[in-house]
Amino acid sequence: MRKPGPPFFLFLCACLALFISQTSPSASEAIHEVKDLNENWAERKDGKEQSPIDVNSDNIQVNQSIGSLITSYDISHAIMQKNSHVIMVNWTEGAGSLLIDGKAYVLGQCQWHLPSEHKLLGERYPLELHMVHRSSDGDIAVISIMYQFGPPDPFLFKLMKFVAILVTNDVVPAGLVPPPVIEIGAPYYRYMGSLTTPPCTEGVIWSLIQEARFVSKGQVRKLRSALHRENNARPIQPINGRAIFLYKPWAQEEHMKYLDRENLCRKSSFLKWLLCHSNHK
């Protein structure tokens, strides 16, 4: 019996991509096609809570009550796909979930932006990864990870052979793909924003991991080569008075230790007080 040739598999991939784009609730809006970074995308004049933003110190409030990011991810079948503005991983049946305020948001897609769309304290990074989640009632939550140049990123490393295929193809099956690991207790910024691709839907819960990870320059070059463009980042949008919360699990603990140390020092002699402060500066 004759085995199916490469054209058959390419046709199968194209059909699978079309099916996912039309039926998957976790990816349908996030991969909306655009032709370029046009004016309507760059600045949506009717939106007041658009993304991305510059997370700066003027708007940051430490808030422990929002809690740690709780994820339960699973390895799952996926395809890698590109359109005119983004390269993405689409999980065909979801890859686990993110829990926010008791509601589960299923991970359906990861996509890369070069350079980073968000700025953290005024700094733009070479790469940003968006992990797009959607709840059963259609709400959207995105985890964002920034990358600085250094050693190769392990998540992207596993996918580089598929990225190479995307140089000449729009879709390729990637087999079983484990999502990136999100550490419990990792500090992050939280704000309400929008999708960064059309239709730029608002009401999106953004969680931006505070600590940048590493990606190699070679990995970034290969992403650009497959995308056939240098920049796929939407411009920074106005904050418009929005609150930005910082979850930092040890912030309250550090503050209490500081108060205890001050009380102990005040009970000591003046000399001990000086020694105490010199040891804890």
Active-site residue list: 85
For tokens 């070679």, name the residue. Answer: 218
Report DSSP state, residue 27: T
Contacts of 195 (CB under 8 A, 6+ apart): 29, 30, 51, 140, 201, 204
Cα 274 to Cα 262: distance, rounded to the nearest angstrom: 11
Distant-in-sequence contacts of 17-20, Cβ < 8 A, 24+ apart: 17/79, 17/81, 17/90, 17/170, 17/171, 20/79, 20/90, 20/92
Nearest 5°: CA angle at 154, between 151 and 218? Answer: 50
| DSSP bridge partners of 247 | 188
Residue 94 in tokens: 């979801």
Q: Are 93 and 77 in contact (CB under 8 A)?
A: yes
